[in-house]
Amino acid sequence: MKEPKEKKKGAEVAAGAGGEGLFASCSFSDLGLHPFLCQHLRDKMGFEFPTQIQAQAIPVVVSGRHVYPSRLVNAATGTGKTIVYLAPIVHLLQVYEPRVQRSDGTFALVLVPTRELCMQVHGVLQKLLHCFHWIVPGYIMGGENRAKEKARLRKGISILVATPGRLLDHLKNTSSFNYSNLRWIVFDEADRILELGFGKAVEEILDFLGSRQADHVRKQHMNTKSAKISRQNLLLSATLNDKVNHLANISLENPIMIGMDCKKDSAVPLKLSLGDAVSSASAVGGDLEGVGALSSQRTENYNLPSQLVQRYVKVSCGSRLVVLLSILRFVFERETSQKIVVFFSTCDAVDFHYSLLNKFKWSPNLQPEANQEQKFVSCRSFHLHGNMEHEDRRKAFHEFTSEKSALLLCTDVAARGLDFPKVRCIIQYDSPGEASEYVHRVGRTARLGEKGEALLFLQPVEIDYLHDLQHHGVSLKEYPLQNIIDSFSVHGQKHHNKKLISLETHPWVLFLQKTLETFISTESKLKKLANDAFCSWVRAYTAHRGELKRIFMVKKLHLGHVARSFGLKDQPSLVGRSHQIESKKRKRGQKKVISFKRRKPS
Ligand SMILES: Nc1ncnc2c1ncn2[C@@H]1O[C@H](COP(=O)(O)OP(=O)(O)OP(=O)(O)O)[C@@H](O)[C@H]1O
């Protein structure tokens, strides 16, 4: 992919057609932020001008207003929402007289859905606090050493970034955690956090913060000004929707919605608590992966970056693996320096494809001379998912972030909020399900004016998903797959036949599929990964919910072709009695239908 022209800064972009550019024409100081902070944003972080959402929302947060704003612009992914809440909080904390101290405890709490986002937000916060060293940042999250976190909480953390599970753990078990001065709770990726996967945890957290905070305040500050500490709750996301709006209204005091086109909602708020709405969905390993999101009853129109090129490729199940590897090889050969993220639906699928890409070597002229052999996809690859060891996750996240050219294979643990620099292409090998998750996945590219491409794999039986996306204002064009497949030669012969042949019978597809199956059958560890990936993929496919179930239907799948998409010659038995029982039931059902048809009078 061509490197985009250097990103224009500030006013040039702000003056874009109709003034709807990325950046506002005002300055950060116009937004009421402290001069030191404005200078730091400009000189140390390279932020010449505020983005549109920052210019609109920062004054609201700085004012501490509790009026429910009737309307705020929708903030697409990559438009600077992190600064929207961190900059005002830092600004308001640095004016405290006397200066805030560690012994005052936590003033601001930022809740995020994943460990990687926790580390990222904490990194931005540390940069912001360079000129306000007395304000102490910190983070707590799954996988970290609890004892060290306890020690840091005991000393005092002024602005705390946390994942819900670990926060709740400390609220319950770290009595020295002082949040009696808590003034802000921020829900970054609010719809993800407030939805069903974390519902119970968030409800318990709010109970702790709400009740204990009030008791503490009443006891300790009875006759002081701080007895009236007013709490501001901020909710941000590129995909807030009315249902989240209701949930937030009920569960939070005076929430301020940022990134939401909040039309006056006449509907009476729902009388359900976060916990009551908990569905079968569950958080995996403290992080959400593939959790079915709230299916909003009405279709939300999502804002996507205008420069994002969105395409889909229609591939039959049995040819998926060949097409994925061929596209990756083609793209990295054409442009060696670029970053690509590939999303899968399960941790096992990530592990299998990661291992295959690192092990599968071949020589271009197909002669198996060892010295000629090279990786089929010649780039550095990383993998990231919630079942990995904590240190491995941290390493993969930081290394992929800093690499100039690399490939990341991941689950939805990396779908939200992560700001990987220079990602040029997002490939969704497995569909995301809810359109909101589609928006967040593709939002890892085309950030803040950068160019970006998104490619969605769909099987012919899944093509209705395009209509579901269209209902949310998302439309994709078809990817020119034929040219790419034709560009590969078998034994030096390219397919020149102008007559279009089906993908499944293309010489290159047949050749590479056979080569992959042979290779995988000889690698026992890889074959095991393929088997596990096959089983978890089928399980994940059944997890689609709501109206998406009619698009992603397991019974429409040919399990033998699914096995081929994992390079398996034979279909593994679906692991676990439940699956064997299920598949026997399905077969019995099919036999009954057939026998019924035979019996029926003609
Ligand atoms: N005013 C600014 N000027 C220039 N760059 C900025 C500005 N504000 C933020 N950025 C950069 O824009 C990128 C996106 O910011 P951020 O991650 O906060 O976006 P976001 O809206 O939270 O995205 P998502 O919805 O994916 O979470 C980051 O690299 C950040 O450093």
- Ligand 1 neighbours, Cβ below 6 Å, are 47, 50-51, 54, 75, 77-83, 238, 417, 419, 443, 447-448
The label of the residue with tokens 């928006």 reads: 439
- The reported pLDDT for the residue numbered 199 is 72
440 C-alpha to center of ligand 1: Å? 14
Tell me how far apart the alpha carbons of residues 305 and 291 are, in angstroms, rounded to a whole number: 25
- Residue to mutate (ligand 1; options 38, 51, 116, 308; most atoms within 8 A of CB): 51
Distance between Cα 45 and ligand 1 center (Å):
11
Distance 584 CA to ligand 1 centre (A): 51
pLDDT higher than 90, residue 148: yes
d(CA 124, CA 116): 13
Q: Report d(CA 88, CA 94) in Å as an integer.
A: 10
Q: How far, in Å, is the centroid of ligand 1 from the Cα of 50?
A: 10
Cα of 37 vs centre of ligand 1, distance in Å, is: 17
Q: What pLDDT was estimated at residue 579?
A: 55
Q: Which stretch of 51-65, 109-123, 132-146 has the lowest confidence by average pLDDT?
A: 51-65
Q: Is the ipTM of this complex over 0.90?
A: yes
Residue-range domain boundaries for the chain: 28-215+230-258, 308-359+375-579
CATH architecture of 308-359+375-579: 3-Layer(aba) Sandwich (3.40)
Mutate which of 23, 42, 47, 420 to test ligand 1's pocket (most atoms within 8 Å of Cβ)? 47
Phi-psi domain of 270 (left: phi exceeds 0; alpha: psi -120 through 50; beta: other): beta
Locate 107 and state its tokens: 């003033």
What is the band of 470 on the pLDDT scale with cuts at 50, 70, 90?
Answer: very high
Look at residue 164 in the predicted model and tell me its pLDDT: 94
**Distance of alpha carbon 91 from alpha carbon 101, whole angstroms:** 15
Q: Domain 28-215+230-258 adopts which CATH fold? A: Rossmann fold (3.40.50)
Please give the mean pLDDT across all residues of the chain.
82
Same fold, 28-215+230-258 and 308-359+375-579: yes
108-111 β-sheet, strand order: 137-140, 159-162, 108-111, 184-188, 232-236, 255-258
Q: Please say if the pLDDT value at position 281 is more than 50.
A: no
pLDDT of residue 541 exceeding 90, the answer is yes
| Res 468 pLDDT > 50 | yes
Read off the pLDDT band of 255 (50, 70, 90).
confident
Residue 260 confidence (pLDDT): 57
Query: What is the model's pLDDT at position 369?
Result: 52
Please state, in angstroms and rounded to a whole number, the distance separating the CA atoms of residues 11 and 25: 5
3-state SS of 146-171 is HHHHHHHHHHCCCEEEECHHHHHHHH
Q: Across residues 378-401, what is the average pLDDT?
A: 96
In this structure, the strands spanning 489-490 and 493-494 are antiparallel
| Confidence check: pLDDT of 236 > 50 | yes
- pLDDT category at 222 given cuts 50, 70, 90 is very low
Specify the 3-state DSSP secondary structure of 306. coil
